[in-house]
């Protein structure tokens, strides 16, 4: 277990789910945390928990990342207050499992705002600070949905494809500046993500036995800090399927049609 003492870790979507799990793993390794999400009350609970288990600091910054026009100023204000950022974990995001024609325009826009545009703007905002220090790490939480799209995930899959494309390009841009870029591509995680993505609970109940533990994903994510890891793909069998899909997408879509249509 690598110590993170003296490191400042920013985490978006830190009020619950995977973001909270990542914050707790960082706290146990002694990191100083900058916790970002909409709910101040939930952030305070995460911060309190992190301080009790070893965090050097746990600063709370309530902010709605769907307000993309305000993101650059928000990043500036946090940098002014905190002075540095060693790792930015862009974890905030949401999904909705619905056919395209039933997906409202405001949901489409909101998903791109939170999942893609705010992630890009947060990354752009911290780059100058990381470059001044000659090091830094941007970790973008994407999804296996960014590699294998499925029905009723048109918008969510599109946002995660965008995150992967953005990350792959940014990784090459920053390679000679000491700034690392990693994508984390998990399959379904046992969090409250599905409460809003599929309120009926039908899909979640079908895939429950295959869901990843948020703690496992968090450990793998934090283990990648400062290592130069390009991607983390979980679970292994789903990553293998995405590799086959890249080579023979038509065949995978035919063979996997029944499973893909479980939503």
Active site residues: 156
Place of tokens 């826009």: 109
Contacts of 167 (CB under 8 A, 6+ apart): 138, 140, 142, 181, 182, 183
DSSP assignment letter at 208 = G
Q: Give residue 3's region: left, alpha or beta (phi > 0; psi -120 to 50).
A: beta
- 228-234-238 Cα angle (round to 5): 130
Q: How far apart are CA 91 and CA 110, in angstroms?
A: 15
Q: How far apart are CA 74 and CA 80, in angstroms?
A: 10
Kindly report the length of the chain.
263
Strand, helix or coil for residue 155: helix
Strand, helix or coil for residue 9: strand
């Amino acid at each position: 277990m690598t110590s993170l003492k003296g490191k400042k870790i920013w985490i978006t979507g830190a009020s619950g789910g995977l973001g909270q799990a990542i914050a707790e793993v960082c706290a146990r390794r002694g990191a100083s945390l900058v916790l970002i999400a909409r709910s101040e009350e939930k952030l305070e609970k995460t911060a309190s928990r992190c301080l009790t288990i070893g965090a050097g600091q746990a600063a709370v910054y309530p902010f709605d990342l769907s307000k993309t026009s305000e993101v650059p100023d928000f990043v500036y204000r946090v940098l002014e207050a905190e002075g540095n950022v060693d790792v930015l974990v862009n974890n905030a995001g949401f999904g909705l499992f619905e056919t395209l024609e039933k997906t409202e325009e405001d949901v489409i826009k909101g998903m791109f705002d939170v999942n893609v545009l705010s992630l890009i703007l947060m990354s752009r905002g911290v780059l100058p600070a990381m470059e001044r220090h000659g090091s830094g790490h941007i970790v973008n939480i994407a999804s296996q949905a960014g590699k294998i799209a499925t029905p009723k995930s048109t918008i969510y899959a599109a946002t995660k494809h965008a995150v992967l494309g953005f990350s792959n390009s940014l990784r090459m841009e920053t390679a000679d500046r000491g700034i690392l870029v990693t994508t984390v591509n998990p399959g379904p995680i046992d969090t409250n993500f599905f409460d809003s993505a599929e309120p009926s609970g039908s899909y979640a109940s079908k895939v429950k036995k295959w869901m990843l533990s948020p703690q496992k994903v968090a450990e793998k994510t934090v283990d990648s800090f400062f290592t130069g890891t390009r991607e983390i793909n979980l679970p292994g069998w789903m990553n293998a399927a995405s590799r086959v899909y890249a080579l023979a997408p038509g065949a995978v879509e035919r063979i996997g049609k029944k499973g893909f249509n479980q939503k």
